Amino acid sequence: MKILLTGAAGFIGMTTALRLLARGDEVVGLDNLNDYYDVRLKLDRLARLEPLPGFRFVKLDVADRAGMEALFAAERFDRVIHLAAQAGVRYSLQNPHAYIDSNVVGFMNILEGCRHTQVQQLVYASSSSVYGGNTKMPFSEHDSVDHPVSLYAATKKANELMAHTYSHLYGLPTTGLRFFTVYGPWGRPDMALFLFTKAILEGRAIDVFNHGRMKRDFTYVDDIVEGVIRVLDRTAEPDPAYVADAPDPGTSNVPYRVFNIGNHQPVELMEFIGHIEAALGRQAQKNLLPLQDGDVPATYADVDALSAWTGFVPATDLRTGIGRFVDWYRGYYRV
């Protein structure tokens, strides 16, 4: 298959590209290499992909309408995996426009490209953040997600709504995957595992929000990639069992799906930190702080729908996954 993979220099993008290339797919990896975090890390991820047969890199911003139209006019893709986005909840409080450009305008350009070139399936990253302050656990795809508490979450929910219209109007098969806190080697420098590991190794205190009572359904990156690929490989025929948020008979014959993809095992931040301390052999100094604006106290994925559809089962426990991250971090930064 020839696949357009956006966000290829990103954490999940690189890991996904490696899997696709290993099985012989042709991957056109797109990224704008922005400086939201250390560009060197993005370039080093790309450097792992560029020598591999079947990989080609395109430096482009998904919000660049003319550039995206030219790309889709020049090449035919069988399927598209769209992971490029402005990520991060806290950054969205300071830089709201970045989210509209990358996540809304960019998504629009992806939808249009897919529509005009009859792409067989669009798989895109949504997020557990769409559940907002929902307290019904575990989070199910049937829960109402109309009350996002950050602009980041709102743009991800907007993607699902936009995808629905394209599936409905043009028969474009779309599958949104709501990723739950992804971690693992080559992970993002703005996320807790990276920040905590770095601070502990440097002897600095770590900021522990919600006084450590925050719960997250941490999901290992290889499990996320496994789910993405299982979805990608399904032909996206209409799913008669799928009921959208507002049950409507008109939506049941549309090739539109949204699934949670998580570990189904939420863990308190204090326990998470304990695993990092054990892997590093060092104790953390903790600044206990209140819940931050835009953050939710807990996430917990019900993954039954994705399991039923693809046979997906998360396979990596937190201790193993954190150990792999710490090994990577120490090797990469030589600390």
Number of alpha carbons in the 13 Å side-chain half-sphere of residue 121: 20
34 binds ligand NAD (CB under 6 A): yes
62 binds ligand NAD (CB under 6 A): yes
Q: Are 240 and 323 in contact (CB under 8 A)?
A: no
Among 106, 184, 266, 314, binds ligand NAD (CB under 6 A): 106
11 binds ligand NAD (CB under 6 A): yes
For residue 333, indicate whether it is catalytic: no
Where residue 269 falls (left for φ over 0; alpha for ψ -120 to 50; beta otherwise) is alpha
Binding mask 285-314 for ligand NAD (x = CB under 6 A): ------------------------------
Distance (Å, whole) CA 310 – CA 307? 5
Question: Is 123 in a helix, a strand, or coil?
Answer: strand
Distance (Å, whole) CA 167 – CA 142? 19
321 binds ligand NAD (CB under 6 A): no
Strand 215-216, strand 55-59: pairing:
unpaired
**Min dist. Cβ of residue 114 to ligand NAD (A):** 16
Q: Directed axis angle between helix 192-201 and helix 269-280, to 10°?
A: 40
**Min dist. Cβ of residue 268 to ligand NAD (A):** 17
- Choice between 85 and 154, CB closer to ligand NAD: 85
Q: Which of residues 161-220 bind ligand NAD (CB under 6 A)?
A: 179, 181-182, 188
Residue 98 bridge partners (DSSP) = none
| DSSP notation for 243-283 | --SS--GGGTTSSEEEEEES-S--EEHHHHHHHHHHHHT-P
Distance (Å, whole) CA 24 – CA 131? 36
Q: Which of residues 110-169 bind ligand NAD (CB under 6 A)?
A: 125, 127
Q: Which of residues 236-265 bind ligand NAD (CB under 6 A)?
A: none
63 binds ligand NAD (CB under 6 A): yes
> Which range binds ligand NAD by CB under 6 A, 29-37, 131-139, 281-289, 310-318?
29-37
Which chain residues interact with ligand NAD by CB under 6 A? 7, 9-13, 31-34, 42, 61-63, 83-87, 102, 106, 125, 127, 179, 181-182, 188
The catalytic residues are 152
